[in-house]
Amino acid sequence: MKNQLAILVLSVASFSAIADTPTDESIRTLFTVMKAESMLNGVYAALEPAMLDGIAQATAGREPTPEQKRIMDRFSHRFSDLMRTELSWAKMEPTQIRIYRESFEQSEIDGLIEFYRSPAGKGFINKMPVVTRKAMTETQIHMQQVMPKIRVITQDMVKELKSAK
């Protein structure tokens, strides 16, 4: 009798865990209402100009020659194309579905779908590209201020490594 009760309890617990595991279809619905693919494409669209800014900062204010500019532009395009190909939504979606399935319950996915379909959720989705772009710009500005400190720490480490031989 105890064995049968234990089996029943384990069966109910297993079924409960499975019953609230999100379906792939519901997760895809969430991604659709979140506009996940277009947000990812927006990140890629912002990536190339940010990279060009980074390259310009790396030249420390020196004007690149036309040939150097052509090389930097080509590198930026190649990098962007690689990111769009290797991290495309088609390649990323299965992993994202798995992560969401492992991280959320069906009731949470349903709640998120409801939120993103609401006026507040739609506003959130529509404003996030601007928020993200502003955050990236502010982070770049802040990193310019932090980089000298990072260089000092790095130089200190290199000195210590050389003396530790």
Digit-coded pLDDT (tens) for 64-114 = 888 888 888 888 888 888 888 888 999 999 999 999 999 999 999 999 999
Amino acid at 137: T
Q: Report the chain's terminal Cα–Cα distance, integer Å.
A: 70
CB 31 within 8 A of CB 37: yes
Answer yes or no: pTM beyond 0.75: no
Work out the angle at residue 42's Cα, subtended by the Cα atoms of residues 36 and 44, and round it to the nearest 5 degrees.
110
Strand extents, DSSP E, the chain: none
